[in-house]
Amino acid sequence: MIHSHPAPSCSEKQDGQTAQVTAQVGASVRDPSILIGKPYRVGARGPDAYDCWGLIVACCPWLPDDWADEGLAVRRVIRIIEEQETDSRWRREDKPCAGGIAIFGTGARASHTGLVWPVSGGFRVIHSFPGAGVVSHQIPMMERMGLRLKGIYTWHG
């Protein structure tokens, strides 16, 4: 079952995007930047702690309901997104866009997710990382941390 909240679209006009995406991204978490500083905990879905996928689930009520399952590992989610890209439920975007799900990895393996969020002058990725908790970084900084961007995806299911 899909939540009734619409997914953000990268094809929408990016001016004034913070208000627009804030209205779409979450019923419970309207601005994911308020979660910065929350601790990281494996399998956590909030509100006191988050892992990287738990943060996405908390901020994206338009995801399929079963994607909030605590047993759904981030690597499995990434595989599903990459598989469903071919049938148009997920669309790989050419550039960062508000509300997109960024997938990162090391080497050939994808292993980390974050939410692309608009900030003055561009975009940052809000993500939860072991040892750091919920933080915000620009994509080049994440790549300097050893996390290579594999793709940014938006839901069109």
Q: What's domain 17-155's superfamily in CATH?
A: endopeptidase domain like (from Nostoc punctiforme) (3.90.1720.10)
13-72 pLDDT, tens per residue? 344 444 444 444 434 567 889 999 999 999 898 899 999 999 998 888 877 777 776 666
β-pair partners for 79: none
Six token digits for residue 111: 């292993």
Helix axis angle, 74-84 to 52-59, nearest 10°: 60
Q: Where are the domains of the chain?
A: 17-155
102-150 pLDDT, tens per residue? 999 988 888 899 999 998 888 999 999 999 999 999 999 999 999 999 9
Residue with token string 């990382």: 129
